[in-house]
Amino acid sequence: MPSKSKKSKTPAASAAALNVAVAAPPAPSKAKATPAAKPAQATPVVVVPTTAQLASRLEVLAGGKEKMSNDSKAAEEELARLLKNPKKRVQGKSEDLDDQMRKLEFRRNTTSMSLGDEKKLLREVENIKSLKVELVEFEEFNARVQYLKDKKKSLFDTLKQAEAQEKDLQLTLRKLRLAETLHVSITSLETVSITVPKDKMGLVVGKGFAKLRQLEEAYNVLLDVES
Q: What is the 3-state secondary structure (H, E, C) of the chain?
A: CCCCCCCCCCCHHHEEEEEEEEECCCCCCCCCCCCCCCCCCCCCCCCCCCHHHHHHHHHHHHHHHHHHHHHHHHHHHHHHHHHHCCCCCCCCCHHHHHHHHHHHHHHHHHCCCCHHHHHHHHHHHHHHHHHHHHHHHHHHHHHHHHHHHHHHHHHHHHHHHHHHHHHHHHHHHHHHHHHHHHCCCHHHEEEEEEEEEHHHHHHHHCHHHHHHHHHHHHHCCEEEEEC
Residue of 216 and 97 predicted with greater confidence: 97
d(CA 224, CA 191): 10
33 phi and psi angles, rounded to 5 deg: -70, 140
Closest CA to 46 of 133, 203, 217, 172: 172
Per the confidence metrics, is the pTM higher than 0.85? no
Q: Does the residue 58 lie in any domain?
A: yes
Mean model confidence pLDDT for the chain: 82
d(CA 135, CA 130): 9
Confidence of residue 28 (pLDDT cuts 50, 70, 90): low
| pLDDT higher than threshold 70 for residue 143 | yes
Q: Does the residue 11 lie in any domain?
A: no
Q: How far is CA 135 from CA 10, 32, 99, 103, 147, in A?
A: 65, 86, 15, 19, 18
Q: What range does the domain containing 150 cover? A: 51-184
CA 216 centroid distance within chain: 29
Q: Does the residue 195 lie in any domain?
A: no
Low-confidence winner among 22-26, 112-116, 220-224 (lowest mean pLDDT)? 22-26
| pLDDT higher than threshold 90 for residue 60 | yes
Q: Does the residue 116 lie in any domain?
A: yes
Q: Does the residue 4 lie in any domain?
A: no
Q: Does the residue 17 lie in any domain?
A: no
Number of domain units in the chain: 1
d(CA 124, CA 107): 12
Mean pLDDT score, 19-26: 62
pLDDT of residue 146: 97
Q: What is the pLDDT of residues 64-108, one digit of tens each?
A: 999 999 999 999 999 999 999 999 888 888 888 989 889 998 888
CA 47 centroid distance within chain: 27
Q: How far is CA 146 from CA 87, 142, 155, 221, in A?
A: 14, 6, 14, 49
Q: Does the residue 159 lie in any domain?
A: yes
Q: Does the residue 33 lie in any domain?
A: no
Confidence of residue 184 (pLDDT cuts 50, 70, 90): confident
Residues 6+ apart with CB under 8 A from 1: 20, 22, 192, 219, 221
